[in-house]
Structure formats: C-alpha cells, structure tokens
Amino acid sequence: MSKPISLNLINTEIGSFKDEMKGLLIQEIIFLGAKRYAYWYKDLNNQRVEQSIYAGIERNSLTFKYFKQLLIKINNNLLNKIPFTTLDYL
C-alpha cells in the first residue's frame, strides 16, 4: 500500500476497516490461503512480535520463518508443474 487508509474508513461498524494493531504497522506478512497466514510487527518497545494463523493448528505456534519455508516450497512445487523452457522467453 502506498499511502495510509483514510481515517474515516476505520471504525467499529460492520463492513468497515478495523485497526486491530492499535496503530502499529505490520512489517511483513505471508498469506498461504484462507486462515493460513503469518506476520510480524514491532511492539511499543521495538521488540519483534510474530503472529500466525493456520487452520487446525494452535494459534501462534508456527514461526514466521516456518511460513517463509512453506511459501518457498509451495512456489517451487508450482514452478516445477509449469511446462516451459528458457527458449520460450528468447
């Protein structure tokens, strides 16, 4: 996102954006699918805090590093299924 969301769009009404981070910024996030994501942010003491959600697994039990490893594995598996050669791009 290149600029902040307008404050008039953030409130507690249904269908509106919610500030669940209380003004803190997520530094990096990985989405693997529905109810499968991890992110990290710096708290008010400038300490790194990692959060993870993976359906069927205890909340925050998977590290951000583990999600990165999963993402790399998924991407490699997808790339191996795409039939192309380097000649396709010449």
Tell me the H-state helices in 2-87: 64-80
pTM (2 d.p.): 0.71
CA angle in degrees (0–180, nearest 5) for 54-29-53 = 15
The tokens 């790194």 sit on which residue? 48
pLDDT tens-digit series, residues 2-60: 677 788 888 888 888 888 888 898 999 999 989 999 999 999 999 999 999 999 999 99
Euclidean distance between the first and the last CA atom of the chain, given in angstroms as a whole number: 34
| Residue found under tokens 């998977």 | 62
